[in-house]
Chains A and B, each alone.
Chain A
Amino acid sequence: MKWLRWLGLLIVLLVVLALAWFLFGGSGGQPVPRDASSVQADTLNDPALIAKGKYLATIADCAGCHTAQGGVAYAGGRSIVTPFGNIPVPNITPDRETGLGDWSFEDFHQALHSGKGRHGELLYPAFSYTSYTKVNRDDSLAIYAYLQSLEPVHQPTEANSLAFPYKLRNSLKAWRTLYFREGEFKPDPAQSAEWNRGAYLVQGLGHCNECHAARDSLGGTPQDVHLTGGQIPMQNWFAPDLSTQKNGGLEGWSTQDIVDLLKTGQSAKGATFGPMADVVVNSTQYMTDSDLHAIATYLQSLPPRANPGEAARQFNAKALVEQGKKVYAEHCEACHRKDGQGVANVYPPLDGNSSVTEPTGINAIRIVLLGGFAPVTEANPRPYSMPPFAQQLNDDEVSAVISYIRRSWSNQASVIRAEDVSKYRQTPID
C-alpha cells in the first residue's frame, strides 16, 4: 500500500500549492508603459475632453475620498476607516513618484473597471470599483485626461493597517467571487434614454449603492441588494432606502423634490446632512439639470420592497411618546411646526421625512444631538441651521422626542430607547 501513501502525499502537496497560489500568487499583469499606450498625448491635451473629465470626476465625487481635511484636492493623504482596518487613500494627481504620473490610460481603466492596480494587484473595495466597473471607456478616458491635467502633488501614500487575513491582497480573490461582477453598464432597451442615463449615473459614477445598501459582515453588498438603504459602517449614519418605499424610502417624492435635494441640499421632503451633505456640496450640486432629472426618473422607477426592518418595539411606547410630545412642543415646534411640516425652504419637514423614519433611528438621534447647518450650495449660500441639543437634552428626552416624531403625523416607525441615544453621543468628524 505504499503507492496509496504516495498518492496521499501528492494530494496534500497539491492542496498546499493551490493554497499558496491563492494566497501569495500574483494576479498577473504588467503596467502598460505610457509610450506604449493606445491613447496619444494629443488626445489627452484636448480641452474638451479635460472639461468633460472634470465634470465626470466631480459628479463621481472622486475628491470626496481622495482629499485630506484641509489638503490639496485629489492628492490623497487620508485613510478610509473600515471595520477591517484603515485603508489609505492614494494620491491621484500626476506626480510620477507618488501619484498617477507613470500610469497609462490602460492602467487607469483597469483599476476603475477591474479593481486591479498597475501590476495586477487586487485593490481593496474601499475604492468602489464594484460600481465603477459600470463606467464606460469614454468616460474613463475623460476622467483620466482630467486627472493627468492636474498640478502634480508629491504626497506618498501610507501603508494600510489592515488586520490578518485582510492584509493579504489575495484574500480579495474570495471576496471578489462573492461580491464583484465586472462589466460595463448595459442599457435596457425597454426603458427611455433618460432612465438609462439615470441608471448609469446611479449605478456607476455616482456609486450610490456603496452607501445606500447594507453591507454584510465581510463588508460586501450581496448582488441582489440595490439601494435598499443601509447603515454606513464606522460613520454611523443611515443612508436611506432610495426606492419608492413607504416609511423610510422616497414614497411621495416628486421628480422636483429629488432634483432639489441633489441641487440645493434641501427639498420639500427633507434636507441632507452628514455624509450626504458633503456629497451635495462637493458633487451633486454641479450636476446638469438633465442628469439630475435622469437620476430622479431612475429612482422613481424603483419599486417599493417588503420592509426588511425589524418589528417595532412596543415597550411602554405610549408614555415615551407622550413625554416626547412635551419635549417637541418646547424645543422643536417653533421651527418644525406642530404639524411636522417645517417651513418651506427653511426648516425641513419631519412628517414623511425618510431620515426620520429610516429603520435604525440613527439619523434622527445624531441630528438632534449635533444640529448643524443645511448644506452650503450655490442655490442656498446662507443656509439656516439647527442648534445642537447634546448639552440640553438627556438620553431619555432625546429618545422620547425621536420616538414621538417617528410615530406622529403619517410616520410609522419604531420607538427609540435611551440606550440607543447614548451610543451616538460622540461627534463624528468624518
Chain B
Amino acid sequence: MPVRRSWARAYNGRMNTNTSLRHAKLFSAASVLMVALLSVAPSHAADEQPVPDTLQQRIATCTACHGVNGEGSPGSGYFPRLAGKPAAYLARQMQDFQNGLRKYAPMEYTVRQLSPAYMREIAEYFAAQEVPYEHSPLPPVSPATLARGEQLVEKGDPERKIPACASCHGSQLTGVEPSIPGLVGLPYDYISAQLGSWRTNTRATVEPDCMSAVANRLSESDITAVAAALASRELPADTHAQPAGSVEPPLPCGVLGAAGGPA
C-alpha cells in the first residue's frame, strides 16, 4: 500500500503547519479564484451573442423553410416564396391555415395560436422583402399546351365562364394590392399544386371563394397549360403588385369583400 502511506504522510505533514498561515493561504487562493471567476463571467457572456430584438430573429420558425428573406426554396419549389406578396394576402393565408380552410399540418401547427396583430406584422415583413425571381424548371409541354395556357392567362375561356388570370391578378400578373398575389415568377409545380388543392378542398378561403370556382371550371389539362404558361413567362421590369383598386374582378370574391360581378 505505498500510495496510501505516502498520502497519509502528506496529510500528516499538512496538519503540522501553522493553521493561521493555512487560513491566510486559503483565503488568498479563494480571492484569486473569485477574481478569476468575476473576470471570466463577462467574457464568457460575450462569447455568446446576445439575441437580436428583431422580427427576423423572432420568426426563425418561418424562415427555416421560407428563407430569411422569404425566398422560399427556389431549387425544389417545395416551400413557397413569400417575398413581395401583398401583406393582406399573406396575413389571410395564415388565418386560413388557422381556421382549417387551408390544410397543411406543419403550417396549421405553426400559426395555430398567433394573434391577428402578430400575423399582420409577419405578413408585412415578408411583403417588404425584395428578392429577385428565379426561373424554375418547366416540364416538357407542347407548343399547343403553352398556347392554350397563354389564352387562359390573357383572355380566359368565356364559354366555360373562366375569367382571364390577368383580369384579377393585374395586367402584368404581378398581383394587386392589398389581397391579390402575383403569378409571375412562381414555379410550375407550385401553381399547378395550388390549383389542384382548390379542387380537392385542401385550399379554401372565405366565401365566396372565387378561386375555388375558377379552379373547378378548369380541366386537368387546363391546369397544366396555365401553370406552364405562367411559369415560362418573362418577368416584367417592375414585379411589384399594382395599386389597390386598379382591377375590377369579374367574380364576387370573399377576400376582396365580395366585390365583383356575377359568378
Contacts and interface: CB of A to CB of B under 8 A. Distances in A.
A246 B49 CA distance: 31
A428 B108 CA distance: 9
Interface in A361-419: 370-373, 375-376, 381-388, 390-392
Interface stretch (B29-37, B84-92, B115-123, B163-171): B115-123
Given A70-B101, A382-B121, A386-B60, A337 B48 contact: yes
A334 interface: yes
B46 to A, nearest CB: 13
Nearest to A428: B109
Given A335-B51, A337-B48, A347-B51, A385 B117 contact: no
Interface string B173-194: 0000000000000000000000
A388 B115 contact: no
B114 interface: yes
A373 B48 contact: no
Interface residues of B, number: 29
Given A382-B58, A385-B58, A388-B61, A70 B115 contact: no
Contacts of B109: 370, 372, 427-429
Given A70-B99, A376-B113, A376-B114, A388 B106 contact: yes
B99 A383 contact: no
Given A70-B100, A338-B48, A385 B108 contact: no
Interface in A335-350: 335, 337-338, 343, 346-347
Nearest to A78: B100
A343 B53 CA distance: 12
Task: Please indicate which of the listed interface residues A382, A388, A427 has the most CB atoms of chain B within 10 Å of its own CB.
Answer: A382
A387 B106 CA distance: 12
A384 B57 CA distance: 7
A388 B57 CA distance: 14
A384 B51 contact: yes
Nearest to B73: A391
A427 B105 CA distance: 6
Contacts of A256: none
Contacts of B63: 387
B58 A384 contact: yes
A426 interface: yes
A291 interface: no
B244 interface: no
Contacts of B62: 385
A391 B66 CA distance: 13
Contact of B59 (A343, A376, A385, A388): A385
A73 interface: no
A426 B113 contact: no
Contacts of A182: none
Nearest to B114: A376
Contacts of B105: 426-429
A281 B118 CA distance: 14
A278 interface: yes
B118 A376 contact: yes
B110 interface: yes
B117 to A, nearest CB: 7
Provide the main secondary structure of the chain A interface: loop
A382 B60 contact: no
B256 interface: no
A277 interface: yes
A69 interface: yes
B213 interface: no
B259 interface: no
A387 B99 contact: no
Nearest to A265: B113
B115 A381 contact: yes
Contacts of B49: 334
Contacts of A385: 58-62
A347 B65 CA distance: 20
Contacts of B110: 370-373, 388
B113 A370 contact: no
A416 to B, nearest CB: 21
A370 B106 contact: yes
Contacts of A375: 113
Interface string B40-75: 000000001101000101111111110000000000
Interface in A7-47: none
Nearest to A71: B99
A371 B108 contact: no
A371 B61 contact: yes
A155 to B, nearest CB: 15
A69 B100 CA distance: 6
Contacts of A426: 105
A427 B121 contact: no
Contacts of A69: 98-100
Contacts of A343: 51
B205 to A, nearest CB: 11
Interface in B107-162: 108-110, 112-115, 117-118, 121
B106 A383 contact: no
B48 to A, nearest CB: 6
13 contacts: A69-B99, A70-B100, A281-B113, A375-B113, A381-B115, A381-B117, A385-B59, A385-B60, A385-B61, A386-B61, A388-B110, A426-B105, A427-B108
Given A385-B62, A428-B105, A429-B108, 4 more contacts: A277-B113, A278-B112, A278-B113, A373-B110
Interface of A: 69-70, 277-278, 281, 334-335, 337-338, 343, 346-347, 370-373, 375-376, 381-388, 390-392, 426-429
Interface of B: 48-49, 51, 55, 57-65, 98-101, 105-106, 108-110, 112-115, 117-118, 121
